């Protein structure tokens, strides 16, 4: 099936006074309809910026300097067209037409996404009426329908509730309802469960799975929690310092990781096999300087796998295919070791 | 990468104060305001030297004189050092208007560091040195003269000294009141907080000008000028402290629950240490911002009172007192230079506002 | 000092926060943040206090530190050198002062727990100065010792908190807490705000320090995987009450409370194909202002019966050293973490 979103060599730089920070430095992936791509990385990896770039809401002083974000959409006459989101002016009508109706986003803090002055019903209806021509009562019915779909009890009453009157889990559900009310093709989820309790998180993840089956949208799920990514994604992207370290289907990447960074991440979390109260494996060193430009693999300085070989540092960064849909940022010669 | 590394080291080792100063420097308007305020205060401190004449000296031959023009080219077109022409007063009998004509044959070059009217420099020593001036009988009146022939430029300088100092003294008193009462309110909470807040609300309900008028009318008219000066500043600060108290209270409420304060308490720190070591430094910058933005209010208040005649009175010269001379529409129509003190007021108020804005933006280095 | 010496004995601890409403601030109800919590912490050991938001675990930690005065119950603390036990719940602030060095806290937010206007040297010196422990050269020596203990450099002492990353700031917080040689460290979600790789470093540091100095930890967290790795005992809280209290290994092998079972099954795993069924609970955690009648978990419990909504279960032993508050503790056969294969 043709991918609904194709990102090619995306580069997003932040032009600060102290220097230029290459937040995203050559990331490529594609999203298939009905499937979830998980982007996992720690702070400073650039994962959130990838999500923001798709919606063209990268904050100043960041700018997309290179790359393509190709969205497969239809041009209103039932014909398919491919739209390059990078070429759009973020403030243009077209961009606003895409945002919300074709690509929607949910965030970590639902309290910050809702206006505290309006009811959630109003906000969901506003989202709907901005993108389609429906009457107020139709919009209201749709909103109640959506609230029921996301599992909010008594939606006809809750539609008049203000955000602060809902619990964290309910607010997150309401935000999902607002995002999906226009039936977008893509849902970008930026750490949507990080601020939630474990039991509520499980509810929300189950809800997203169910909604994906029902609506068929593609999900781009961004998180730092390896377990959450493992549970919800079909394919996983591991990002470090703005570049992809490893990309693979979800069962492969956690069962047989190849890149040293992925392996190190998995080892630093206590698992079923880790002896209790043993020292966890840590990653030596720290992130490179944000303003630094690294030609090769940015993880080289902290990598302790291959002894002495510097080819991954000196050669320009590139991804090597090691299995079906499995890419690694190590040069081919190192992988066969 | 040595330059970059050095820069990084500087950033890492910088104190909060240095960070604030670096951020402040990025604001063009704020820096301009800072330079302007420095200039204004400099001229206020050294006004006796900078002013060519004393503030009360009456040049009876130059009543309501327009600003003297300073020339560099003389009639023949040659460049000379800056000079002024002599003036004679002529009365046009038909129009009943006074007219000053330049006498092109009398040339008075402007000299630096002349000897003029003598004065006491801040009560320390007597001298008669002035930055610039001309030989008698010429007169250099850059802003013209008023109805008693007093040089307006000199009076503006003396006036801004009084206005600026009233602002500072008044704000200092507000600061003390605001810190103490706001501090009690914010740190202890409970009924002292409630009581102080109600008092603040009552005070804020009063319309300020009628209140000041009432207080001013209650002042005995025979009081010496200095007493009047302090009475006015106390009056102004009695209303001005409420804003600061509220800000202090709000900040204390927020800071009390901050984790680093809790950590200090768990380490065993007592109230005094927490207040002076943790709470106060955390909002000193905000206090400075609020104070900087409160000074223009004080200055405007004093100017307004003096303009209405219920504030400072001659012989104390403030910008408001100067403006009182310009209350009459006819006067302004005929002698518009009498409004120049307004420019000083505007300059002062704008500069403080720019600096205050710049400070406010620079003060929260963590509010990215 | 024997390993089984009880350092902290919490008995029936309660904290009800009054809710004021209306113009005259009448008390209309209470938030029952902590509603009858009991457990023992042994010297040199780690006790994990686990629960979701609103369960009251942070409030328990704060009561131990003396930030709140308990509404009821006792907190018996054993000072060193054979002095008599003190009930921290009833102690006056003057009496609390000499005890402060023995009980210290590490906070969750590495950015808020350090005063941004003090250098690291000043931050570390504060507990020593306030308690008049060291001065001058001794002070400097002790500060350097602390800095090196947590893996930072002496050159860092002149810097301000803004120059450090989250993990480094947490190390500074730990160093500050260790300054006075405490016996008990209350760690309130110390790694929740940190990246996974940094979390591992802090965990290792904590283990190292515990081995070196023989501290006891009260590890408050919502992260089951981390708690399991770190603790000898575990107390699970729900809406202000203890639902299960046991040694870590038996708890994870075979939990006895339905909430524990559900919580364990909800922990996301990197090998979901190995995990058994996920128990998705209905609804939100109960409201501490108006907890459900009887067992507070009954509206969401899969095994609830009529008795559960009427009678509140007591915390009782189901096996030696394994306490549960459930009416059916002997009956239920719940699946544990090991069988679920839960790995984070």
Q: ipTM score of the complex?
A: 0.85
The 10s digit of each residue's pLDDT in C313-336 is 999 998 899 999 999 888 888 887
Nearest CA in chain B to A60: B368
Task: Indicate whether C53 and C63 sit together in one domain.
Answer: yes
Give C126's contacts (C-beta < 8 A, 6+ positions apart): B264, B267, B269, B277, C118, C176
Residue C310 lies in a domain: yes
Residue C219 lies in a domain: yes
Of the residues B79, B111, B140, the one at which a domain ends: B140
Task: Indicate whether B272 and B227 sit together in one domain.
Answer: yes
Percent of chain B with pLDDT over 90: 8
Of the residues B140, B167, B195, the one at which a domain ends: B140
Provide the chain C residues 285-324 that lie in CB contact (below 8 A) with chain A. Answer: 285
Q: Give the count of domains, chain C.
A: 2
Range of the domain at B85: 68-140
Task: Indicate whether B333 and B256 sit together in one domain.
Answer: yes
Of the residues C237, C263, C289, the one at which a domain ends: C237
The 10s digit of each residue's pLDDT in B44-82 is 888 888 888 888 888 877 788 888 888 777 777 777 777
Task: Indicate whether C167 and C281 sit together in one domain.
Answer: no
- Report yes or no: A19 at the B interface, CB cutoff 8 Å: yes
CB contact under 8 A, C203 and A280: yes
CB contact under 8 A, C268 and A272: no
User: Residue B169 — pLDDT band, cuts 50, 70, 90?
Assistant: confident
> Which CATH number goes with the domain that contains C121?
3.40.50.300
H-type helices in chain B, by residue range? 2-13, 16-25, 28-45, 47-50, 152-188, 190-205, 208-218, 225-256, 259-266, 271-273, 280-308, 319-324, 329-334, 340-363
Task: Indicate whether C108 and C188 sit together in one domain.
Answer: yes
Residue A265 lies in a domain: yes
Residue A176 lies in a domain: yes
- Report yes or no: C98 at the A interface, CB cutoff 8 Å: no
Residue B294 lies in a domain: yes
Q: What is the reported pLDDT for B198? A: 92
CB contact under 8 A, A291 and B4: yes
Task: Indicate whether C213 and C100 sit together in one domain.
Answer: yes
CB contact under 8 A, B366 and C162: yes
Contact B14, B365 (CB under 8 A): no
- Report yes or no: B4 at the A interface, CB cutoff 8 Å: yes
Task: Indicate whether B179 and B315 sit together in one domain.
Answer: yes
Q: What is the reported pLDDT for C136? A: 83
Residue A136 lies in a domain: yes
3-state DSSP assignment of residue C54: coil
Residue C161 lies in a domain: yes
Residue B297 lies in a domain: yes
Of the residues C211, C237, C263, the one at which a domain ends: C237
Nearest CA of chain B to the CA of C95: how many Å?
11
CB contact under 8 A, A268 and C52: no
Report whether pLDDT(A23) > 70.
yes
Provide the chain B residues 73-102 that lie in CB contact (below 8 A) with chain A. Answer: none
- Tally the residues of chain C: 344
3-state DSSP assignment of residue A127: helix
Task: Indicate whether C115 and C34 sit together in one domain.
Answer: yes
Of the residues B140, B171, B203, the one at which a domain ends: B140
Task: Indicate whether C218 and C285 sit together in one domain.
Answer: no
Q: What is the reported pLDDT for C338? A: 65
- Report yes or no: A61 at the B interface, CB cutoff 8 Å: no
Task: Indicate whether C179 and C294 sit together in one domain.
Answer: no
Provide the chain C residues 179-208 that lie in CB contact (below 8 A) with chain B. Answer: 179-180
Q: What is the mean pLDDT of chain C?
A: 88
User: Residue C1 — pLDDT band, cuts 50, 70, 90?
Assistant: very low
Contacts of B7 in chain A (CB under 8 A): 18
The 10s digit of each residue's pLDDT in C62-107 is 999 988 899 999 999 998 888 888 999 988 878 888 888 899 999 9
Nearest CA in chain C to B279: C115
DSSP for C5-28 reads -EEEEEEEEEEEEEEEETTTTEEE
Q: What is the reported pLDDT for B2? A: 63
Q: Give the tokens for residue B63.
A: 């009543």
Residue B44 lies in a domain: no
3-state DSSP assignment of residue A165: helix
The 10s digit of each residue's pLDDT in C206-251 is 999 999 998 999 999 988 888 888 899 999 999 999 999 999 988 9
What are the beta bridge partners of residue B108?
B84
Contacts of C163 in chain B (CB under 8 A): 11-13
Task: Indicate whether B107 and B173 sit together in one domain.
Answer: no
Contacts of A291 in chain B (CB under 8 A): 4
Task: Indicate whether B188 and B108 sit together in one domain.
Answer: no
Contacts of B14 in chain A (CB under 8 A): none
Of the residues C237, C254, C278, the one at which a domain ends: C237
Task: Indicate whether B260 and B357 sit together in one domain.
Answer: yes
Q: Which helix (H) or strand (E) holds A69?
A: strand A62-74
CB contact under 8 A, C104 and B267: yes
Task: Indicate whether B200 and B249 sit together in one domain.
Answer: yes
Of the residues A181, A206, A232, the one at which a domain ends: A181
DSSP for A81-126 reads EEEEGGGS-TTSHHHHHHBTTTEEEE-S-HHHHS-TTS-HHHHHHH
- Global pTM reads 0.80
Candidates B190, B267, B270: best to mutate against C (most CBs of C within 10 A) is B267
Q: What is the mean pLDDT of chain A?
A: 88
Task: Indicate whether B290 and B186 sit together in one domain.
Answer: yes
Helix A136-149 with A168-180: angle, nearest 10 deg: 130
CB contact under 8 A, C268 and A276: no
Q: What is the reported pLDDT for C341? A: 45
For A92-106, B120-134, C148-162, which range has the lowest pLDDT when averaged over its residues?
Answer: B120-134
Task: Indicate whether B229 and B347 sit together in one domain.
Answer: yes
C269 vs A43, A203, A227: nearest CB: A227
Task: Indicate whether B159 and B136 sit together in one domain.
Answer: no
Contact B90, B63 (CB under 8 A): no
Task: Indicate whether C223 and C270 sit together in one domain.
Answer: no
CB contact under 8 A, A227 and C266: no
Task: Indicate whether C168 and C21 sit together in one domain.
Answer: yes
- Report yes or no: B7 at the A interface, CB cutoff 8 Å: yes
The 10s digit of each residue's pLDDT in A208-257 is 999 999 999 999 999 998 989 999 999 999 999 999 999 999 989 988 89
Count CB atoms within 10 A of the CB of residue C9: 16
Nearest CA in chain B to C104: B266
Residue C324 lies in a domain: yes
For B11-15, B182-186, B359-363, which range has the lowest pLDDT when averaged over its residues?
Answer: B11-15
User: Buried (b) or exposed (e) across B132-145, using 16+ Cβ within 10 A?
Assistant: bbbeeebbbbbbbb
The 10s digit of each residue's pLDDT in C287-306 is 888 888 889 999 999 888 88
Which chains reach chain B with 3 or more Cβ–Cβ distances below 8 angstroms?
A, C
Task: Indicate whether B317 and B190 sit together in one domain.
Answer: yes
The arithmetic mean of pLDDT across residues C39-60, rounded, is: 92
More confident position, B347 or B325? B347
**Distance linking the first and last C-alpha atoms of chain A:** 35
Task: Indicate whether C164 and C94 sit together in one domain.
Answer: yes
C197 vs A170, A276, A283: nearest CB: A283
Q: What is the mean pLDDT of chain B?
A: 82
Range of the domain at A129: 117-181
More confident position, A319 or A291? A319
DSSP for C118-175 reads S-HHHHHHHHHHHTT---HHHHHHHHHHHHHHTT--GGGGGS-GGGS-HHHHHHHHHH
Residue B205 lies in a domain: yes
Nearest CA in chain B to A17: B26
Q: What is the reported pLDDT for B98? A: 67
Of the residues A164, A181, A198, the one at which a domain ends: A181
Task: Indicate whether B189 and B273 sit together in one domain.
Answer: yes
Q: Give the tokens for residue A8.
A: 């090619």
CB contact under 8 A, B7 and A18: yes
Residue A230 lies in a domain: no
Provide the chain B residues 114-133 that lie in CB contact (below 8 A) with chain A. Answer: none
Nearest CA of chain B to the CA of C333: how many Å?
43
Residue C50 lies in a domain: yes
DSSP for C248-301 reads HHHHHHS--SHHHHHHHHHS--S-GGG-----PPPSPPPPSSSPPSSSTTGGG-
Residue C1 lies in a domain: no
Nearest CA in chain B to C159: B13
Residue B282 lies in a domain: yes
CB contact under 8 A, A231 and C197: no
Q: Give the count of domains, chain B.
A: 2
Range of the domain at C300: 239-340
- Report yes or no: C225 at the A interface, CB cutoff 8 Å: yes
Which chains reach chain C with 3 or more Cβ–Cβ distances below 8 angstroms?
A, B
The 10s digit of each residue's pLDDT in B257-301 is 888 998 998 888 888 888 888 888 878 878 888 888 888 888 888
Nearest CA of chain C to the CA of B209: how many Å?
33
**Among candidate residues C41, C17, C14, C32, the one with its CA nearest the CA of residue C287:** C32
CB contact under 8 A, A273 and C343: yes
3-state DSSP assignment of residue B94: coil
Residue A184 Cα distances to A50, A179, C135, angstroms: 18, 8, 66
Residue C320 lies in a domain: yes
Q: What is the reported pLDDT for C340? A: 46
Contacts of B18 in chain C (CB under 8 A): none
- Report yes or no: C197 at the A interface, CB cutoff 8 Å: yes
Residue B38 lies in a domain: no
- Report yes or no: A201 at the C interface, CB cutoff 8 Å: yes
- Report yes or no: C256 at the B interface, CB cutoff 8 Å: no
Sheet with A36-40, strands from edge to edge, namely A103-106, A186-190, A218-223, A36-40, A235-240, A243-249, A326-328, A320-323
> Which CATH number goes with the domain that contains B318?
1.10.3720.10
Q: What is the reported pLDDT for B97? A: 64
The 10s digit of each residue's pLDDT in A44-62 is 888 999 999 998 889 888 8
Report whether pLDDT(A308) > 70.
no
Q: Which helix (H) or strand (E) holds B118?
A: strand B111-121
Task: Indicate whether C165 and C181 sit together in one domain.
Answer: yes
Q: What is the reported pLDDT for B367? A: 44
Candidates C126, C164, C168: best to mutate against B (most CBs of B within 10 A) is C126
Q: Give the count of domains, chain A.
A: 2
Q: What is the reported pLDDT for B94? A: 67
Q: Which helix (H) or strand (E) holds A130?
A: helix A120-131
CB contact under 8 A, C130 and B14: no
- In angstroms, the CA C122 to CA B219 distance is 52
Q: What is the reported pLDDT for A180? A: 92
CB contact under 8 A, C225 and A266: no
CB contact under 8 A, B365 and C162: yes
B12 vs C109, C112, C163: nearest CB: C163
Task: Indicate whether C252 and C105 sit together in one domain.
Answer: no
Report whether pLDDT(B256) > 60.
yes
């Amino acid at each position: 099936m043709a991918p609904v979103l194709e990102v090619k060599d995306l580069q997003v730089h932040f032009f600060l006074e102290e220097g230029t920070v290459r937040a995203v430095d050559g990331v490529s992936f594609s999203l298939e309809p009905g499937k979830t791509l998980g982007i996992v990385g720690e702070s400073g990896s650039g994962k959130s910026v990838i999500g923001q770039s798709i919606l063209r809401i990268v904050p100043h002083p960041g700018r997309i300097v290179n790359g393509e974000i190709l969205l497969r959409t239809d041009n209103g006459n039932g014909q398919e067209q491919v739209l390059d989101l990078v070429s759009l002016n973020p403030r243009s009508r077209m961009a606003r037409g895409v945002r919300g109706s074709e690509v929607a986003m949910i965030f970590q803090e639902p309290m910050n996404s809702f206006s505290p002055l309006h009811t959630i019903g109003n906000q969901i209806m506003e989202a709907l009426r901005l993108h389609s021509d429906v009457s107020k009562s139709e919009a209201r019915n749709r909103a109640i329908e959506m609230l029921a779909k996301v599992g909010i009890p008594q939606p006809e009453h809750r539609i008049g509730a203000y955000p602060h009157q809902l619990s964290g889990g309910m607010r997150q559900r309401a935000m999902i309802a607002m995002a999906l009310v226009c039936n977008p093709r893509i849902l970008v989820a930026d750490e949507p469960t990080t601020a939630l309790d474990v039991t509520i998180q499980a509810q929300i993840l189950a809800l997203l799975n169910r909604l994906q089956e029902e609506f068929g949208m593609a999900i781009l799920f961004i998180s730092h929690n390896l377990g959450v990514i493992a549970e919800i994604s079909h394919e996983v992207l591991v990002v470090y310092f703005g570049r992809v370290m490893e990309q693979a289907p979800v069962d492969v990447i956690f069962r047989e990781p190849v890149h040293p960074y992925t392996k190190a991440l998995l080892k630093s979390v206590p698992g079923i096999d880790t002896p209790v109260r043993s020292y966890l494996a840590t990653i030596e060193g720290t992130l490179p300087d944000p303003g630094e430009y690294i030609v090769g693999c940015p993880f080289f300085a902290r990598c302790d796998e291959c002894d002495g070989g510097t080819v991954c540092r000196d050669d320009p960064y590139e991804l090597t295919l090691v299995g079906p849909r499995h890419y690694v940022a190590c040069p081919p010669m190192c992988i066969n070791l | 990468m040595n330059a970059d590394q050095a820069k990084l080291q500087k950033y890492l080792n910088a104190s909060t104060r240095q960070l604030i100063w670096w951020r402040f420097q990025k604001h063009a308007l704020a820096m301009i305001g800072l330079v302007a305020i420095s200039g204004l205060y400099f001229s206020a401190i050294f006004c006796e030297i900078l002013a060519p004449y004393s503030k009360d000296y009456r040049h009876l031959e130059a009543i309501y004189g327009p600003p003297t023009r300073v020339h560099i080219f003389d009639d023949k077109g040659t460049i000379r050092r800056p000079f002024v022409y002599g003036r004679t007063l002529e009365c046009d009998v038909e129009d009943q208007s006074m007219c000053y004509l330049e006498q092109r044959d009398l040339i008075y070059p402007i000299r630096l560091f002349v000897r003029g009217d003598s004065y006491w420099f801040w009560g320390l020593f007597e001298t008669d040195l002035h930055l610039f001036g001309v030989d008698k009988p010429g007169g250099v009146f850059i802003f013209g003269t008023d109805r008693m022939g007093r040089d307006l430029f000199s009076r503006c300088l003396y006036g801004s000294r009084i206005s600026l100092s009233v602002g500072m003294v008044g704000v200092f008193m507000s600061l003390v009141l605001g810190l103490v009462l706001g501090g009690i309110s914010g740190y202890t909470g409970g009924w002292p907080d409630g009581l102080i807040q109600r008092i603040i609300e009552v005070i804020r309900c009063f319309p300020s000008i009628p209140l000041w008028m009432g207080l001013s009318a209650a002042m005995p008219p025979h009081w010496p000028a200095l007493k009047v000066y302090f009475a006015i500043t106390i009056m102004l600060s009695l209303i001005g402290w409420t804003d600061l108290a509220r800000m202090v209270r709000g900040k204390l409420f927020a800071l009390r629950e901050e984790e680093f304060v809790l950590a200090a308490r768990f380490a065993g720190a007592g109230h005094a240490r927490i207040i002076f070591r943790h709470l106060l430094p955390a909002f000193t910058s905000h206090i400075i911002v609020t104070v900087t933005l409160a000074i223009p209010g004080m200055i405007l208040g004093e100017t307004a009172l003096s303009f209405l005649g219920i504030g400072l009175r001659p012989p104390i010269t403030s910008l408001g007192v100067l403006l009182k001379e310009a209350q009459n529409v006819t006067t302004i129509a005929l002698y518009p230079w009498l409004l120049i003190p307004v420019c000083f007021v505007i300059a002062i108020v704008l500069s403080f506002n720019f600096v205050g804005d710049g400070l406010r933006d620079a003060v929260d280095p963590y509010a990215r | 000092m024997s390993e089984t010496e009880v350092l902290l004995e919490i008995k029936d601890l309660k904290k009800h926060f009054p809710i004021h409403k209306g113009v005259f601030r009448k008390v209309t109800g209470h938030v029952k943040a902590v509603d009858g919590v009991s457990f023992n912490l042994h010297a040199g050991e780690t006790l994990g206090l686990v629960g979701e938001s609103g369960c009251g675990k942070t409030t328990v930690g704060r009561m131990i530190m003396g930030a709140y005065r308990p509404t009821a119950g006792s907190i018996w603390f054993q000072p060193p050198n054979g002095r008599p036990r003190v009930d921290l719940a009833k102690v006056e602030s003057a009496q609390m002062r000499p005890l402060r060095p023995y009980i210290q806290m590490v906070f969750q937010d590495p950015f808020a727990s350090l005063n941004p206007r003090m250098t690291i040297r000043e931050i570390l010196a504060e507990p020593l100065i306030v308690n008049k422990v060291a001065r001058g050269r001794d002070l400097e020596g002790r500060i350097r010792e602390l800095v090196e203990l947590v893996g930072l450099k002496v050159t860092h002492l002149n810097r301000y908190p803004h120059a450090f990353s989250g993990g480094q700031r947490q190390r500074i917080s730990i160093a500050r807490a260790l300054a006075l040689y405490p016996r008990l460290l209350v760690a309130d979600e110390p790694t929740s705000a940190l990246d996974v790789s940094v979390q591992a470093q802090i965990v290792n540091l904590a283990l190292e320090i515990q081995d070196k100095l023989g501290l006891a930890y009260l590890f408050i967290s919502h992260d089951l995987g981390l708690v399991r790795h770190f603790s000898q005992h575990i107390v699970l809280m729900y809406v202000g009450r203890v639902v299960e209290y046991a040694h870590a290994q038996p708890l994870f092998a075979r939990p006895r409370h339905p909430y524990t079972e559900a919580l364990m099954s909800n922990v996301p795993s990197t090998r979901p194909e190995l995990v058994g069924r996920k128990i998705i609970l209905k609804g939100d955690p109960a409201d501490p202002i108006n907890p459900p009648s009887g067992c507070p978990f009954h509206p969401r419990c899969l095994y609830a019966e009529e008795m559960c909504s009427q009678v509140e279960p007591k915390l009782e032993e189901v096996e030696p050293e394994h306490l549960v508050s459930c009416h059916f503790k002997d009956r239920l056969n719940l699946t544990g973490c090991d069988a679920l294969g839960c790995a984070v």
